[in-house]
A and B are shown apart, each in its own frame.
Chain A
Amino acid sequence: MHITGQNGKYPISQEIEKQMHKIVSAIFLAENIKKIEIEAPRIAKKRKAGQFVMIRVDETGERVPLTIADADPEKGTITIIVQGMGKSTKELNTKEAGDTISDIVGPLGAPSHIEKFGTAVSIGGGVGSAIAYPTAVALKEAGNYVITINGARSKDLVILEREMKAVSDEAYITTDDGSYGFHGFVTQKLQELIDSGKRIDFVLAIGPIPMMKAIAEVTRPYNIKTMVSLNPIMVDGTGMCGGCRVTVNNEIKFACVDGPEFDAHQVDFKNLTDRNKVYLSEEKQSAEAFAHKCNLQ
């Protein structure tokens, strides 16, 4: 190519051409929880279980970390499962097939450590089931006897039941209100399995922080290797800002590069819980403004 720009003027603020990412399909799995399949060929090819992407919906959006629930390298798409929590995730959940989003970067984070442990229990609470799913698949592929415990508040919030069953040697559903499956918490189901004398070699637990903390306490007395996927607030997701730092074994770790999965018995859950509260009032402000905007439309 030859360019001999004669007095080539620079137009002010011409946007850098960006590849927008098209949404291929978007369906609600439960109230407020949406499964979104997006074009992202490079990521689809590279991703491994346990990794995540950061998504920025549009030019003024924040960078939101979301686990890659599934990928189709041939089609060049990845799937994310999003729970509407605040402004960004709710806005993402308004997107339909055919819409585009501005930025996706990934795959980020260290892949899950997968080996043949023997019997592996994968526990997901709420949208955590979506995050646990790809790792459950990888554990199965590695030859483990896989038990899944899929917990939700009530029947209509249970997600990925069919998918979980397909990768499990034993699959359990728990609901807090007893409207489906085992009546109780995932921790109780796990304790029941342990009490039944079943040998458990590995536990992966992903869900709300109190749930992960509780699981850690269940397995600690038995010395069962237990991993949890932490969800600190992130900005870049590449190890550049340190905002996602968590305390593991009394050391600072950056969850976006060293994690997000860590040994549950070494994690300082209290510090994570506290740090995640830093923007509570701003999050509320954003959510209210967004709700207002939606009502107007």
Chain B
Amino acid sequence: MCPQHITTKERFAIPRQEMPAQSPDVRNKNFKEVNLGYTPELAQKEALRCIQCKDPACIKGCPVNIKIDQFIKLIADGNFLGAAKKIKEDNVLPAICGRVCPQEDQCEKLCILTKKHTSVAIGNLERFAADYERETGNVELPTVKASTGKKIAVIGSGPAGLSCANDLIQLGHSVTVFEALHELGGVLVYGIPEFRLPKEIVKQEIEGLKKLGVKFIPNAVAGRSVTVDELLKEEGFDAVFIGVGAGLPWFLGIPGENLIGVYSANEFLTRVNLMKSYQFPNNDTPVFNCKGKNVAVFGGGNTAMDAVRTAKRLGAEHAYIVYRRSETEMPARLEEVHHAKEEGIEFLMLMNPLEFVGNEQQWLTGAKCLKMELGEPDDSGRRRPIPIKDSEFILPIDMAVISIGNGSNPLIKQTTPDIEVSKRDTIVVDLNTMATSKEDVYAGGDIVTGGATVILAMGAGRTAAKAIHDKLMGIETQE
């Protein structure tokens, strides 16, 4: 099919191209990436499905407004590098977003084809273009503007911090990123598992930023190693961007939560992803031995899916998702739920944990749960689960992972009290500029919104970068 001469009818006849993937009973035993990516042929075929709308609805669904129609056209034309470049005008981490964006709720949800057929696989195509560029070694470094002499400190190297650093360095500012952990990338490296987002990709994106001149200081905890005030007053930074994420795990607050074998999702995933305990004893950090054990993950988000699929890969006999509402209310991405089911994850819906029980040695042996049924919709529009009387039972498990969300780490708040925070301890900002209540201090990503998405964090980083630039350069013209 020649892209120039394809008829509309022919276009509509092309089915959505499936993402090639490792087969479920192979991949649930390894940590390699599940999705294998489109081949150029598959990508071109999928790209031809896009009818090139005059007023593309898809773009409105993308938080950073990628020129979706244009990049897809370039793929259809076989200009894959051109497509990658086009995407990068709006999204600095396309290989990552193409993999982890909840596309079905964003760009793809609004794609015009959704009405009649299935949407164009925008995320898969975005991933393809970015992978093609990287794997063929054709990544072009953008041009960096002449130095402005301004210094900006970015705290946190998650997607918010990285995108902020990227924009600022290109505008000619000097940028230093302070990261608490020994690895860079935030949730992208410690939370999202290798089988969904290979760490090599994150590493290479960060390598790119380094080449542009961004300075990274790992093992630097803002609030402890250095405070925001010290950065501004003693270390000569002109502005500070805070992108420290939502990194304080919530627990259920039920009895038995301190038994041996009860983990937060953050701890479990950090041990496995960041500390690579799936390679124990070659890596020194151990993790609960899941082999042949029953593991239950409490929660229904992306984090819960990642945790339960990780437990399965570590050899769990039964790996359960225990969620208090029904499957339709689960916030996790559809693709993840689907993948999890294929891999043999068991979904226990409408079930609420009441208590963890253990043996003499204080090892977890089970979770006392209560069955629920759905009642009337609540404020969030989701149907509220209500307990079924006398339905208590004990689910026999050896390990529990609590995955019910994260609050804000208190370090910045404690050490920089003049930054206004909300009741939930998130940082309060002006959403147009991401400016906080403290002069020259900006914030964005999960620390502002609470746990959200990679693309929203990136968008926030970019908004802040623009505002910081305007402010710093504005001052200069007045002088």
Contact = CB atoms under 8 A, between A and B. Distances in A.
Interface stretch (A5-13, A121-129, A182-190, A193-201): A5-13
B391 interface: no
A275 B271 CA distance: 16
A5 B169 CA distance: 14
Given A60-B282, A238-B180, A239-B410, A3 B258 contact: no
Contacts of A61: 284
30 contacts: A1-B144, A2-B143, A3-B211, A7-B140, A8-B140, A9-B138, A11-B207, A14-B207, A16-B216, A18-B218, A43-B225, A88-B284, A103-B219, A105-B219, A106-B221, A236-B270, A239-B410, A240-B180, A240-B248, A240-B409, A242-B267, A243-B263, A243-B264, A247-B258, A252-B258, A257-B409, A275-B260, A278-B260, A282-B281, A285-B281
B41 interface: no
B281 A241 contact: no
B221 A1 contact: no
B258 A271 contact: yes
B452 interface: no
A100 to B, nearest CB: 14
A87 B280 CA distance: 13
A152 to B, nearest CB: 28
Interface residues of A, number: 58
Given A238-B409, A239-B410, A13 B203 contact: yes
A62 interface: yes
A105 B221 contact: yes
B475 interface: no
A221 B207 CA distance: 60
A11 to B, nearest CB: 8
A5 B211 contact: yes
Contacts of B411: 238-239, 257
Interface string A8-48: 11111110111000000000000000000000001100100
Contacts of B143: 2-4
Contact of B258 (A46, A107, A275): A275
Interface of A: 1-14, 16-18, 42-43, 46, 56, 60-63, 87-88, 102-108, 235-236, 238-243, 245, 247, 252, 257, 271, 274-275, 277-279, 281-283, 285-286, 289
Interface residues of A, dominant DSSP:
loop
A103 B218 contact: yes
B131 to A, nearest CB: 12
B401 to A, nearest CB: 11
Interface string B354-377: 000000011000000000000000
A117 B139 CA distance: 63
B225 A16 contact: no
A238 B245 CA distance: 13
Contacts of B394: none
B79 interface: no
B165 to A, nearest CB: 13
A138 B275 CA distance: 35
A12 B219 CA distance: 24
B386 interface: no
Contact of A279 (B134, B220, B221, B286): B286
Contacts of A240: 180, 190, 247-249, 266, 270, 409
A169 to B, nearest CB: 32
Nearest to A252: B251
Interface string B212-229: 110010111100111000
Given A10-B207, A238-B180, A240-B266, A283 B146 contact: no
A252 B280 CA distance: 29
Interface string B240-278: 000000011101000001101101101100110001100
B211 A286 contact: no
A239 B244 CA distance: 12
B207 A16 contact: yes
B198 to A, nearest CB: 11
A5 B144 CA distance: 9
B182 interface: yes
B285 interface: yes
B204 interface: yes
B417 interface: no
B141 A241 contact: no
A277 B267 CA distance: 17
Interface string B132-171: 0010011111111011000000000000000000000000
Nearest to A102: B182
Given A3-B212, A4-B143, A105 B260 contact: no
B288 A105 contact: no
Interface in B402-426: 409-411
A274 B275 CA distance: 23
Nearest to A42: B225
Nearest to A14: B207
Contacts of A46: 224-226
Contacts of B276: 60
Nearest to A64: B284
B118 interface: no
Given A43-B225, A274-B361, A16 B218 contact: yes
A56 B280 CA distance: 16
A1 B221 CA distance: 28
B206 interface: yes
A79 B410 CA distance: 28
Nearest to B257: A252
Contacts of A281: 289
